[in-house]
């Protein structure tokens, strides 16, 4: 199945502009069929991947990262592919166009992407309706909604509207390419204010996604936020291993990296986060995972889950089933019974 994608379909998709190909993929994922025929069901030993992250029971630690299905349009198809969870969003309080095109670029030789989307969103009302509809259907994967907002009040509005229809919320703390004022929730005081407001009313697990850092001062700041998230009882945290790169072919002249090229930094980031959180809250690995061996390395470094986006673009619809199968093989090769045994080996 994945050979069909990489040898036949991907070359066709890659003839299209990247954003158009992304839109086409989402259209095909709007319904369960034909994805319900996918190979994921045939992965044997799947029960060995069962795990718990931040209070969420997951069939697999492998998740889909925010940004592929920004407006919760493709959940019926995505739900058939073998992911333990699907992150929709980022959902913004009002409809928002994002940055000018071109804002997505493929780097095929590196199996990577550069994007400067700038959080386009159909907006809260639109996404809430679709999430509400999907929540009434039987489903395999957990659904996490990434919400992002310019201020605490509109965060709370989004939170109240979306939380009843999903399994968990991920608080996004401003997109790196957001050109209209960014970074305000990366200051410890406003971050604390946001956490207190949300944690006081939440009924479901809350995750936080913080921006990657670009220098030592930012690194210290991000690790301070990880400490605050742990202190206030957030359920999990993620920080992608990505960075900004200059690229004249993109409308802003730069883009945020994702894909294979960022995996080493993702691993380093997990170790740094684990050094602060020490297993007290979950870590979601985010950035550059393409294989079960890489997922294994991320879990062994301290992550509770591993989420992907760019490998779905390069490897196709079978990527989750493939990583799940390879992760089981990676457990076998180390004589480990299951993912929980791997996690139990981490230092407290």
With contacts defined by CB under 6 A, name the span among 24-32, 33-41, 115-123, 185-193 that binds ligand FMN: 115-123
- Least gap, CB of 67 to ligand FMN (angstroms): 2
Residue spans of beta strands (DSSP E) within 108-161 = 112-115, 142-147
The residue to which tokens 């779905």 are assigned: 312
- Least gap, CB of 125 to ligand FMN (angstroms): 18
Work out whether 286 is an interface residue with ligand FMN (CB under 6 A). yes
Q: Looking only at residues 1 through 60 of this chain, which bind ligand FMN when binding is defined by CB under 6 A?
A: none
- Least gap, CB of 338 to ligand FMN (angstroms): 24
In terms of CB distance, is 165 or 209 closer to ligand FMN?
A: 209
Distance CA 58, CA 40 (A): 15
Cα dihedral sign, 132-238-200-193: negative
Distance CA 181, CA 99 (A): 13
Work out whether 115 is an interface residue with ligand FMN (CB under 6 A). yes
- Least gap, CB of 279 to ligand FMN (angstroms): 22
The residue to which tokens 């998709």 are assigned: 13
Rounded to whole angstroms, the maximal C-alpha distance in the chain is 51
Q: 202: which residues sit within 8 A by CB, 6+ positions away?
A: 159, 163, 169
Work out whether 209 is an interface residue with ligand FMN (CB under 6 A). yes
The residue to which tokens 């990434």 are assigned: 146
Work out whether 211 is an interface residue with ligand FMN (CB under 6 A). no
Work out whether 250 is an interface residue with ligand FMN (CB under 6 A). no
With contacts defined by CB under 6 A, name the span among 128-136, 150-158, 255-263, 273-281 that binds ligand FMN: 255-263
Q: Looking only at residues 302 through 321 of this chain, which bind ligand FMN when binding is defined by CB under 6 A?
A: 308-311
Distance CA 241, CA 267 (A): 8
In terms of CB distance, is 48 or 73 closer to ligand FMN?
A: 73
State the DSSP string of 58-114.
ES-SEEEEEEEETTS-SHHHHTTTT-SEEEEEEEPSS-B--SPSP-EEEEGGGTEEE
Among 21, 51, 62, 65, the residue binding ligand FMN under the rule CB under 6 A is 65
**Site residues (CB under 6 A) for ligand FMN?**
65-67, 70, 89-90, 104, 113, 115, 117, 119, 146, 172, 209, 240, 242, 258-259, 262, 286-289, 308-311
């Amino acid at each position: 199945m994945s050979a069909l994608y990489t040898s036949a379909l991907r070359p066709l998709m890659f003839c299209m502009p990247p954003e158009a190909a992304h839109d086409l993929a989402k259209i095909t994922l709007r319904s369960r069929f034909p994805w319900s025929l996918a190979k994921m069901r045939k992965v044997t030993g799947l029960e060995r991947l069962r795990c718990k992250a931040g209070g969420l029971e997951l069939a697999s630690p492998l998740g889909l990262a925010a940004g592929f299905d920004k407006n919760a349009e493709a959940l019926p198809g995505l739900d058939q592919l073998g992911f333990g969870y699907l992150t929709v969003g980022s959902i913004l309080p009002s409809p928002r166009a994002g940055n000018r095109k071109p804002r997505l670029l493929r780097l095929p030789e590196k199996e990577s992407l550069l994007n400067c989307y700038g959080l386009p969103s159909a907006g809260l009302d639109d996404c809430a309706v679709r999430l509400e509809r999907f929540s009434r259907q039987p489903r395999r994967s957990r659904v996490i909604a990434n919400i992002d907002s310019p201020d605490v009040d509109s965060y709370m509005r989004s939170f109240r509207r979306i939380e009843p229809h999903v399994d968990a919320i991920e608080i996004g703390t401003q997109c790196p390419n957001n050109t209209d004022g960014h970074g305000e929730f990366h200051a410890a005081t406003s971050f604390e204010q946001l956490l207190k407001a949300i944690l006081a009313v939440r009924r479901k697990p809350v995750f936080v996604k913080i921006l990657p850092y670009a220098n030592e001062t930012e690194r210290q700041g991000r690790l301070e936020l990880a400490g605050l998230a742990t202190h206030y009882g957030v359920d999990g945290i993620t920080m992608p291993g990505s960075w900004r790169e200059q690229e004249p072919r993109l409308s802003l002249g730069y883009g945020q990296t994702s894909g294979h090229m960022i995996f080493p930094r993702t691993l380093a980031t997990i170790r740094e986060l684990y050094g602060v959180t020490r297993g007290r809250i979950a870590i979601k690995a985010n950035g550059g995972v393409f294989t079960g061996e890489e997922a294994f390395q991320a879990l062994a470094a301290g992550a509770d889950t591993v989420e992907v986006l760019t490998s779905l673009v390069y490897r196709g619809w079978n990527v989750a089933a493939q990583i799940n199968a390879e992760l089981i093989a990676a457990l076998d090769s180390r004589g480990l019974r299951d993912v929980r045994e791997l996690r139990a080996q981490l230092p407290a």
